[in-house]
A = this chain, B = another copy of it.
Amino acid sequence: MDQGVALFHPEQMDLRLSKSSQVYELLREAIISLRLAPDAPILEREISAQLGVSRTPLREAILQLATENLVRIAPSDGTFVNRIIPSEVLQGQLVRDTIEMRLTRLAARNFGDTFEKDFELSLFRQSSAAKRQDVDEFFALDNEFHRLICQCAGFPEAWQTIHGATGQLDRCRRLAFSLEAHYSAVYDEHAAMYEKLRTRDEDGVAEIFQVQLDSTFPSIDILLRERPDVVAGAEADFDIALIR
């Protein structure tokens, strides 16, 4: 009813996972990429029909998104995609700046040779996606790269914690990325990080990662300038000094 063309199709799903997980991944990607825009309603009946699943797994997926504050469930009213909430973007930045930074240092300290081929494959795919200017793919590979670092640090489950706390931040980074398309800069940073990891240069990898983290702040500026409509509240809420 709402859209002329359906946003979701059954063939998008990854059949190896449970239905709930498949639907969750699909919805999350749609929200992060802004294909599902802030304030857009999520109709259980409509989406379950589009995807060919029942309300049960769909509801489970939506609940998960609600715990990440990506959607807002208003009982007896509807479920809606949340706008980008400045304080939660900053919270995500705080999480990356603390845990992920610590894990990245640990990964350098404990780097094991068995990860070499994983990193090299990841970097190759990144360069490939960069050449094709494929935002979706590159952004997914960016996440995979950092998840790989968590594994390398010996705390693979920690990625879940980080990922669950950076939904709002990801929307912001992703949007800035699609507007700026600075593929090569990010690729170069990742390649440099890998070199430092491989040589167990803890301070070296931390320094580069800090640069990448700080590049979020210009992204926030871009977001505010280009798409104030997707942000909740006033510009002043982005008080970056709060976390420095």
Q: Residues of A with Cβ closer than 8 Å to B?
A: 18, 20, 56, 59-60, 63-64, 67, 69, 75, 87-88, 90-91, 94-95, 97-99, 101-103, 106, 110, 154-155, 157-158, 160-161, 164-165, 242-243
Contact = CB atoms under 8 A, between A and B. Distances in A.
A190 B111 CA distance: 38
Given A56-B56, A154-B87, A155-B87, A106 B242 contact: yes
Contact of A98 (B20, B56, B59, B98): B98
Contacts of A157: 69, 87-88, 91
Query: Which of A20, A106, A160 has the most chain B CB atoms closer than 10 A to its own CB?
Result: A160
Contacts of A103: 94
By secondary structure, the A interface counts as helix
Given A94-B158, A158-B91, A63 B99 contact: no
Copies in the complex: 2
Nearest to A165: B161
Contacts of A60: 59-60, 63
A154 B75 CA distance: 27
A158 B243 CA distance: 13
Contacts of A160: 67
A214 to B, nearest CB: 16
B242 A110 contact: yes
B99 A154 contact: no
A21 to B, nearest CB: 10
Nearest to A110: B242
Nearest to A59: B60
A75 to B, nearest CB: 8
A102 B94 contact: yes
